[in-house]
Protein backbone atom coordinates (compact mmCIF):
# COMPACT_ATOMS: atom_id res chain seq x y z
CA UNK A 1 0.00 0.00 0.00
CA UNK A 2 1.38 3.43 -0.93
CA UNK A 3 1.40 5.31 2.37
CA UNK A 4 2.23 8.62 0.72
CA UNK A 5 -0.86 8.65 -1.51
CA UNK A 6 -3.11 7.19 1.16
CA UNK A 7 -2.07 9.82 3.70
CA UNK A 8 -2.83 12.60 1.22
CA UNK A 9 -6.24 11.12 0.49
CA UNK A 10 -7.23 10.85 4.14
CA UNK A 11 -5.84 14.28 4.97
CA UNK A 12 -7.71 15.93 2.07
CA UNK A 13 -10.98 14.21 2.96
CA UNK A 14 -10.62 15.18 6.62
CA UNK A 15 -9.96 18.82 5.78
CA UNK A 16 -12.79 18.94 3.24
CA UNK A 17 -15.17 17.93 6.04
CA UNK A 18 -13.69 20.49 8.41
CA UNK A 19 -12.44 17.88 10.86
CA UNK A 20 -9.37 18.10 13.02
CA UNK A 21 -7.19 15.04 13.53
CA UNK A 22 -8.60 14.68 17.03
CA UNK A 23 -12.19 14.89 15.77
CA UNK A 24 -11.53 12.26 13.11
CA UNK A 25 -9.92 10.02 15.71
CA UNK A 26 -12.97 10.29 17.98
CA UNK A 27 -15.45 9.59 15.17
CA UNK A 28 -13.45 6.64 13.84
CA UNK A 29 -12.77 5.22 17.29
CA UNK A 30 -9.03 5.42 16.77
CA UNK A 31 -6.28 7.07 18.75
CA UNK A 32 -5.03 10.51 17.79
CA UNK A 33 -1.56 9.00 17.46
CA UNK A 34 -2.83 6.54 14.85
CA UNK A 35 -4.32 9.34 12.73
CA UNK A 36 -1.12 11.36 13.01
CA UNK A 37 1.05 8.43 12.02
CA UNK A 38 -1.14 7.63 9.00
CA UNK A 39 -1.16 11.22 7.77
CA UNK A 40 2.59 11.48 8.34
CA UNK A 41 3.11 8.34 6.25
CA UNK A 42 4.54 6.43 9.21
CA UNK A 43 1.86 3.76 9.48
CA UNK A 44 0.36 1.22 7.12
CA UNK A 45 -3.29 0.99 8.28
CA UNK A 46 -4.93 -2.39 8.74
CA UNK A 47 -8.16 -3.42 7.04
CA UNK A 48 -10.13 -2.60 10.18
CA UNK A 49 -8.56 0.86 10.37
CA UNK A 50 -9.45 1.50 6.71
CA UNK A 51 -13.06 0.53 7.44
CA UNK A 52 -13.23 2.83 10.46
CA UNK A 53 -11.75 5.74 8.54
CA UNK A 54 -14.00 5.22 5.53
CA UNK A 55 -17.04 5.18 7.81
CA UNK A 56 -15.92 8.34 9.60
CA UNK A 57 -15.17 10.11 6.31
CA UNK A 58 -18.42 8.82 4.77
CA UNK A 59 -16.81 7.02 1.84
CA UNK A 60 -16.54 3.34 0.98
CA UNK A 61 -13.40 1.38 1.90
CA UNK A 62 -12.87 0.75 -1.81
CA UNK A 63 -12.76 4.48 -2.41
CA UNK A 64 -9.76 4.78 -0.10
CA UNK A 65 -8.04 1.79 -1.63
CA UNK A 66 -8.88 1.81 -5.35
CA UNK A 67 -7.74 5.32 -6.02
CA UNK A 68 -4.21 4.17 -5.29
CA UNK A 69 -1.90 2.82 -7.94
CA UNK A 70 -0.93 -0.82 -7.63
CA UNK A 71 0.44 -1.70 -4.23
CA UNK A 72 3.44 -3.13 -6.00
CA UNK A 73 3.64 -1.95 -9.62
CA UNK A 74 7.06 -3.58 -9.93
CA UNK A 75 5.43 -6.93 -9.21
CA UNK A 76 3.10 -6.39 -12.16
CA UNK A 77 6.10 -5.84 -14.39
CA UNK A 78 7.70 -9.02 -13.05
CA UNK A 79 4.46 -10.90 -13.68
CA UNK A 80 4.20 -9.59 -17.24
CA UNK A 81 7.83 -10.46 -17.97
CA UNK A 82 7.91 -13.83 -16.17
CA UNK A 83 6.89 -15.95 -19.21
CA UNK A 84 10.29 -15.09 -20.73
CA UNK A 85 11.55 -18.09 -18.76
CA UNK A 86 10.04 -20.21 -21.52
CA UNK A 87 13.50 -19.80 -23.07
CA UNK A 88 14.70 -22.20 -20.36
CA UNK A 89 11.70 -24.52 -20.54
CA UNK A 90 8.61 -23.98 -22.66
CA UNK A 91 6.24 -24.89 -19.83
CA UNK A 92 7.71 -22.15 -17.63
CA UNK A 93 5.73 -19.75 -19.83
CA UNK A 94 2.62 -20.83 -17.91
CA UNK A 95 3.99 -22.31 -14.67
CA UNK A 96 5.90 -19.22 -13.48
CA UNK A 97 3.15 -16.59 -14.06
CA UNK A 98 0.60 -19.04 -12.63
CA UNK A 99 2.60 -19.31 -9.38
CA UNK A 100 3.01 -15.52 -9.16
CA UNK A 101 -0.69 -15.05 -9.89
CA UNK A 102 -1.77 -17.49 -7.18
CA UNK A 103 0.55 -15.85 -4.64
CA UNK A 104 -0.56 -12.25 -5.18
CA UNK A 105 -3.92 -12.20 -6.99
CA UNK A 106 -5.80 -11.13 -3.84
CA UNK A 107 -3.18 -8.87 -2.29
CA UNK A 108 -1.84 -6.73 -5.14
CA UNK A 109 -4.23 -4.71 -7.23
CA UNK A 110 -4.16 -5.58 -10.91
CA UNK A 111 -2.52 -8.98 -10.52
CA UNK A 112 -5.77 -10.91 -10.90
CA UNK A 113 -6.61 -9.36 -14.28
CA UNK A 114 -3.08 -9.17 -15.66
CA UNK A 115 -2.20 -12.68 -14.52
CA UNK A 116 -5.28 -14.15 -16.18
CA UNK A 117 -4.41 -12.34 -19.41
CA UNK A 118 -0.76 -13.43 -19.39
CA UNK A 119 -1.59 -17.05 -18.57
CA UNK A 120 -4.28 -17.22 -21.26
CA UNK A 121 -1.92 -15.87 -23.92
CA UNK A 122 0.83 -18.29 -22.94
CA UNK A 123 -1.50 -21.28 -22.88
CA UNK A 124 -2.59 -20.43 -26.42
CA UNK A 125 1.04 -20.07 -27.50
CA UNK A 126 2.05 -23.41 -25.98
CA UNK A 127 -0.92 -25.26 -27.50
CA UNK A 128 -0.27 -23.86 -30.98
CA UNK A 129 3.49 -24.35 -30.67
CA UNK A 130 3.35 -27.98 -29.57
CA UNK A 131 0.52 -28.84 -31.94
CA UNK A 132 2.61 -27.52 -34.80
CA UNK A 133 5.79 -29.28 -33.62
CA UNK A 134 3.97 -32.58 -33.05
CA UNK A 135 2.31 -32.48 -36.46
CA UNK A 136 5.59 -31.84 -38.23
CA UNK A 137 7.46 -34.46 -36.22
CA UNK A 138 4.86 -37.10 -37.08
CA UNK A 139 4.86 -36.03 -40.73
CA UNK A 140 8.64 -36.26 -41.04
CA UNK A 141 8.71 -39.54 -39.15
CA UNK A 142 6.08 -40.93 -41.50
CA UNK A 143 8.12 -39.88 -44.53
CA UNK A 144 11.25 -41.46 -43.07
CA UNK A 145 9.54 -44.77 -42.30
CA UNK A 146 7.59 -45.09 -45.54
CA UNK A 147 10.42 -44.14 -47.86
CA UNK A 148 12.83 -47.05 -48.14
CA UNK A 149 15.17 -45.48 -50.60
CA UNK A 150 15.61 -41.74 -51.01
CA UNK A 151 16.69 -40.34 -54.30
CA UNK A 152 19.16 -37.51 -54.03
CA UNK A 153 16.45 -34.94 -54.69
CA UNK A 154 14.12 -36.54 -52.12
CA UNK A 155 16.92 -36.63 -49.56
CA UNK A 156 17.78 -32.99 -50.17
CA UNK A 157 14.11 -32.06 -49.82
CA UNK A 158 13.87 -34.06 -46.59
CA UNK A 159 16.93 -32.31 -45.12
CA UNK A 160 15.57 -28.94 -46.21
CA UNK A 161 12.27 -29.76 -44.49
CA UNK A 162 14.10 -30.56 -41.26
CA UNK A 163 16.10 -27.34 -41.49
CA UNK A 164 12.90 -25.38 -42.12
CA UNK A 165 11.44 -26.71 -38.87
CA UNK A 166 14.37 -25.21 -36.98
CA UNK A 167 13.69 -21.80 -38.51
CA UNK A 168 9.98 -22.09 -37.75
CA UNK A 169 10.81 -22.97 -34.13
CA UNK A 170 12.95 -19.84 -33.98
CA UNK A 171 10.05 -17.87 -35.45
CA UNK A 172 7.67 -19.12 -32.75
CA UNK A 173 10.25 -18.23 -30.11
CA UNK A 174 10.75 -14.69 -31.41
CA UNK A 175 7.00 -14.19 -31.68
CA UNK A 176 6.50 -15.08 -28.03
CA UNK A 177 9.40 -12.86 -26.95
CA UNK A 178 7.79 -9.95 -28.80
CA UNK A 179 4.41 -10.68 -27.19
CA UNK A 180 5.96 -10.83 -23.71
CA UNK A 181 7.86 -7.57 -24.08
CA UNK A 182 4.80 -5.87 -25.58
CA UNK A 183 2.61 -6.87 -22.62
CA UNK A 184 5.35 -5.77 -20.21
CA UNK A 185 5.66 -2.40 -21.94
CA UNK A 186 1.88 -1.88 -21.89
CA UNK A 187 1.86 -2.76 -18.19
CA UNK A 188 4.58 -0.19 -17.55
CA UNK A 189 2.65 2.52 -19.41
CA UNK A 190 -0.53 1.60 -17.52
CA UNK A 191 1.27 1.89 -14.18
CA UNK A 192 2.69 5.28 -15.13
CA UNK A 193 -0.69 6.52 -16.32
CA UNK A 194 -2.39 5.42 -13.10
CA UNK A 195 0.26 7.10 -11.00
CA UNK A 196 -0.02 10.42 -12.83
CA UNK A 197 -3.82 10.45 -12.68
CA UNK A 198 -3.95 9.61 -9.01
CA UNK A 199 -1.20 12.07 -8.21
CA UNK A 200 -3.32 14.84 -9.73
CA UNK A 201 -6.33 13.71 -7.70
CA UNK A 202 -4.42 14.00 -4.45
CA UNK A 203 -3.03 17.47 -5.10
User: Hey, how many other C-beta atoms are within 10 angstroms of the C-beta on 107?
Assistant: 11
Start-to-end C-alpha separation, the chain: 18
Against a cut of 0.75, is the pTM above it? no
d(CA 160, CA 172) in angstroms, rounded, equals 18
Q: What is the pLDDT along the chain (203 residues), one digit of tens a residue?
A: 455 677 888 888 899 889 999 999 999 999 999 989 888 877 778 888 888 999 999 888 877 776 454 567 889 999 999 999 999 999 999 999 999 999 888 778 888 899 999 999 999 999 999 888 888 777 777 777 777 676 666 666 666 666 777 778 889 999 999 999 999 999 998 887 765 655 554 45
d(CA 29, CA 53): 9
Residue 51 sits in the same domain as residue 111: no
Segments forming the whole domain that contains residue 41: 3-66
Number of residues that make up the chain:
203
Q: Are residues 110 and 198 in the same domain?
A: yes
How many separate domains does the chain show? 2
**Domain at 40, CATH number:** 1.10.260.40
Q: Do 157 and 141 share a structural domain?
A: yes
Instruction: Clarify whether residues 29 and 82 are in a common domain.
Output: no
The reply to whether 124 and 186 lie within a common domain is: yes
Amino acid sequence: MDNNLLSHKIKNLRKSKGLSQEALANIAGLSLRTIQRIENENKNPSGDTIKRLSSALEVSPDFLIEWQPNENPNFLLILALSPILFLVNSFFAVIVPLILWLLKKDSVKGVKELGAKVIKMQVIWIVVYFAFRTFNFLRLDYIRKTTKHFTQDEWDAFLFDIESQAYLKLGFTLLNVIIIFYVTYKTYLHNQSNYQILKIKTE
